[in-house]
Structure 1
Amino acid sequence: MSIQLFVPTFRVEECLEEIRECLEKGWTGLGFKTVQFEDEWKKYTGLKNAHFLNSATVGLSLALKILKMENEWNDGDEVITTPLTFVSTNHAIVYENLQPVFADVDDSLCLDPADVEKKITSKTKAVLFVGLGGNVGQYSKIVELCQKNGLKLILDAAHMAGTRVNSEIPGKEADVVVYSFQAVKNLPTADSGMICFKEQKNDEICRKLSWLGINKDTFARSGEKGAYKWKYDVEYVGYKYHGNSIMAGIGLVQLKYLDQDNAYRRQLAEWYDEQFKLFPDKLRIISVTEGCEASRHLYIIEVDNRDELLHDLNEFEIYPGVHYRDNTEYRMYSYAKGTCPNSLYLSERILSLPMHLRMTKEDVDFICEKVIACLTSKIL
């Protein structure tokens, strides 16, 4: 049987009960479940605000739009970001006519504070930090840099649902945090996300912008007896970005198990570590920052001849992935090619091994055996 990179696990009966309630009430859109999920997410994270959206990508777009609008940034102002991320991170900057400035990554695959500092100019307005794989890298130093230079901080926490640092959910120090609940994330729905602004006024603007600029959503305009108040104002040219109650219902179930699921992911990572640490000359484990209890969305190793290893593992029906290709290798970001040498070097050497809740120790053992055999050129 093949071992896939990602296979999401849903508590099917519990999810169906949540969906059934939506269908029986006849309310599947923005409304009672999205509000409930937002409230539960705030309790879980300790963040002051949370707004449920249809994806993390639109969350990043709204984050930048609102920060730009409220702080009077100009078109062409700069946001320092990472080249080692899913392309939606950097597209969101471009959506708002801002300029992505790429800083290099360190060995954790997260932004290198030393290079970030070098890239700060008079046009720099914000830093966008990605917690790759659920790790925090040198995030605390990025926070200090932003505070020192008066920059806004956006935390792309797409991989970080459940990550803790010294027992605390990170993000309270950021101006905005964006989570992903896409289909294969640690808290999977079909697709959705959450945006958490530090400032309540920004949360209020976000709620309007995500519902076409309307100043009262449909749920808020419906009374206890179902009376529909049709009169409202439209304050912005907004978007149809809000989440729906079906996705929120699934999210409510998945949230109950998030810490338990992440604990098992960390167990899988420990099993990988136990075997791979015996071969430091053949591969490097991308380790988690000390003090970080990572979500472990990814388990990444660095190897020579990555593409050859990937092909060899496919022959054994093991299907790893790559997170990610250096974004400056893409045509639209090629203006920055050569500015982040460590990112380019690592992006050609990193491999994400299967990491999901349906895996067993036997699966990990099998993968490790084949990885090590391929790297040591043993005949199988």
Structure 2
Amino acid sequence: MDVISVNIPLFVPTYRVEECLAEIRECLEKGWTGQGFKTVQFEQCWKAYTGLPYAHFIHSATAGLSLALDVLKMSHHWKKGDEIITTPLTFVSTNHVIRYHGLKPVFADVDSYLCIDPADIERKITPRTKAVMFVGIGGNTGQYEHVVHLCRRHQLCLILDAAHMTGTRLHGVVPGQEADAVVYSFQAVKNLPTADGGMICFKEADHDAVVRKLTGLGMNKDVYTRTHIDGPYKWLYDVEHIGYKYHGNSIMAAIGLVQLKYVDQDNAYRKQVAAWYETELKSLVPHIQVVPLAPGCDSSRHLFIVSCADRDELILHLNEHHIFPGVHYRANTHYRMYRHAKGSCPVAEQYSDTILSLPLHLRITYEDVQYVIRQIRLFAEYKYEADWT
């Protein structure tokens, strides 16, 4: 009988503590912990890392998605009730932000990669469709290139919800140059955790200029800029928009600067853990199936997702043996807020009942993975009365 002394959780963030503290100490010694200073440095480093032309550090990816819609709605003159085609298989914030702005989320189904299916997008385009929200679930790119071409053909804006995609590359390149807006998450358990935070990256310079005002309550000069310019009226600013307090701060950015140095190294280990899982799970097909990566996708491996018809029983079995997987995600069409669309995305709703994410983080070991696999195998032998040796 297997006995372990600790639990195996789904996520455990890892920080280079001394380096992070050194960056934070500099903020404290300078007396600058808010917007500016480290946030500016982090934005510059992020642009260099991704190749995206603009980047603005914000306090969460949810704020970023909301801002993306706010800016695009303003610049393209969208009206209340205009439609955004989106996926039901995502964290609920993806779709909540559409409703924040009086827009209508229209759900398109997912493909075998759990990403939005371009064929179903095309079926659901109407004269009121203004944009597509693409979610790179778990770091997967799905049929992103097809969605890009579809948006160009129908003259739709494209928003890339890249909350799981820090470090993901498609054919060797960070995806997003083609999108009107890309939003990343640095929330506590993401691949690049900063306790919380996010980055919004627009394609157009004027959109970046507007979002910087919106995140600072609509003011046309932030406090860092006012402090670092010359002249007797440097304190003077105007308020051009009804904005929000959505900008990030230098403490979170200080952590981000350290984490960014290691993100590719960290993702390489995540890929190794995923490879250990894949090797061992091959023998359990068809009862346990790994959700595949799209061709050309070098995934960040934020998640390792499998599908099992008896998912809920498997989760209970794993919990009893100190293993705590997750579910990413329940189809949003099951929630009361979006139940009006139930049945419109049968593939997503089927996956919603079968998928689970196995523990994947930097502190998990080869022995941990073998223990998880052993418990899955024991469940399969009992449930399906088969010998998997």
Q: TM-score range by the shorter chain?
A: over 0.9
Structure 2 match to 1:322:
327
Q: Which residue type is aligned with residue 283 of structure 1? A: I
Q: Which residue type is aligned with residue 68 of structure 1? A: K
* Residue 363 (structure 2) pairs with residue 348 (structure 1): no
* Residue 75 (structure 2) pairs with residue 66 (structure 1): no
Structure 2 match to 1:143:
148
Q: Which residue type is aligned with residue 243 of structure 1? A: G
Distance 1:52 1:290, change over 3 A: same
SS at match of 1:301: strand
SS at match of 1:238: coil
* Residue 206 (structure 2) pairs with residue 201 (structure 1): yes
* Residue 146 (structure 2) pairs with residue 132 (structure 1): no
How far apart, CA to CA, are the structure 2 residues paired with 1:142 and 1:362?
40
Residues 280-299 of structure 1 aligned to structure 2 (within 5 Å):
280-299=285-304
Contact 1:221/1:228, CA 8 A, preserved across alignment: no
How far apart, CA to CA, are the structure 2 residues paired with 1:224 and 1:64?
31
Contact 1:60/1:89, CA 8 A, preserved across alignment: yes
Give unpaired runs (5+ residues) of structure 2: 1-5
Distance 1:226 1:34, change over 3 A: farther
How far apart, CA to CA, are the structure 2 residues paired with 1:227 and 1:14?
39
Residues 227-306 of structure 1 aligned to structure 2 (within 5 Å):
229-306=234-311
> Cα deviations across residues 122-143 of structure 1 (Å, max 9, x unaligned)?
0000000000000000111000
* Residue 45 (structure 2) pairs with residue 40 (structure 1): yes
How far apart, CA to CA, are the structure 2 residues paired with 1:175 and 1:369?
45
Distance 1:228 1:285, change over 3 A: farther
Match of 1:99 among 90, 97, 104: 104
Match of 2:87 among 70, 82, 85: 82
| Deviation >4 Å, runs of 4+ | 224-228
Q: Which residue type is aligned with residue 210 of structure 1? A: T
How far apart, CA to CA, are the structure 2 residues paired with 1:293 and 1:376?
33
SS at match of 2:97: helix
Structure 2 match to 1:181:
186
Instruction: Using the TM superposition, give the Cα deviation of residue 225 of structure 1 relative to its aligned residue in structure 2, in angstroms.
Output: 8.8
How far apart, CA to CA, are the structure 1 residues paired with 2:96 and 2:351?
22
How far apart, CA to CA, are the structure 1 residues paired with 2:305 and 2:315?
13
> Cα deviations across residues 247-269 of structure 1 (Å, max 9, x unaligned)?
00000000000000001000000
Instruction: Using the TM superposition, give the Cα deviation of residue 224 of structure 1 relative to its aligned residue in structure 2, in angstroms.
Output: 7.0
Q: Which residue type is aligned with residue 317 of structure 2? A: D
> Cα deviations across residues 340-372 of structure 1 (Å, max 9, x unaligned)?
000000000001000000011111111011112
SS at match of 1:154: strand
SS at match of 2:319: helix
How far apart, CA to CA, are the structure 2 residues paired with 1:189 and 1:22?
15
How far apart, CA to CA, are the structure 1 residues paired with 2:285 and 2:118?
27
Q: Which residue type is aligned with residue 85 of structure 2? A: I
Structure 2 match to 1:164:
169
* Residue 338 (structure 2) pairs with residue 333 (structure 1): yes
Q: Which residue type is aligned with residue 315 of structure 2? A: L
Contact 1:282/1:376, CA 8 A, preserved across alignment: no
* Residue 332 (structure 2) pairs with residue 308 (structure 1): no
Contact 1:222/1:228, CA 8 A, preserved across alignment: no
Q: Which residue type is aligned with residue 169 of structure 2? A: R
Question: RMSD value over aligned CA atoms?
Answer: 1.3
Instruction: Using the TM superposition, give the Cα deviation of residue 158 of structure 1 relative to its aligned residue in structure 2, in angstroms.
Output: 0.1
Q: Which residue type is aligned with residue 356 of structure 1? A: H
SS at match of 2:46: helix
Instruction: Using the TM superposition, give the Cα deviation of residue 373 of structure 1 relative to its aligned residue in structure 2, in angstroms.
Output: 1.2
Distance 1:319 1:228, change over 3 A: farther
Instruction: Using the TM superposition, give the Cα deviation of residue 229 of structure 1 relative to its aligned residue in structure 2, in angstroms.
Output: 2.5
How far apart, CA to CA, are the structure 2 residues paired with 1:329 and 1:171?
30
How far apart, CA to CA, are the structure 2 residues paired with 1:54 and 1:171?
20
Instruction: Using the TM superposition, give the Cα deviation of residue 278 of structure 1 relative to its aligned residue in structure 2, in angstroms.
Output: 1.6
State the number of aligned residues.
Answer: 379
How far apart, CA to CA, are the structure 2 residues paired with 1:297 and 1:196?
20
SS at match of 2:130: strand
Instruction: Using the TM superposition, give the Cα deviation of residue 226 of structure 1 relative to its aligned residue in structure 2, in angstroms.
Output: 11
Q: Which residue type is aligned with residue 152 of structure 1? A: C
Instruction: Using the TM superposition, give the Cα deviation of residue 304 of structure 1 relative to its aligned residue in structure 2, in angstroms.
Output: 1.3
Structure 2 match to 1:370:
375
How far apart, CA to CA, are the structure 2 residues paired with 1:139 and 1:97?
26
Q: Which residue type is aligned with residue 133 of structure 1? A: G
Contact 1:58/1:241, CA 8 A, preserved across alignment: yes
How far apart, CA to CA, are the structure 1 residues paired with 2:41 and 2:247?
14
Q: Which residue type is aligned with residue 274 of structure 1? A: T
How far apart, CA to CA, are the structure 1 residues paired with 2:180 and 2:284?
42
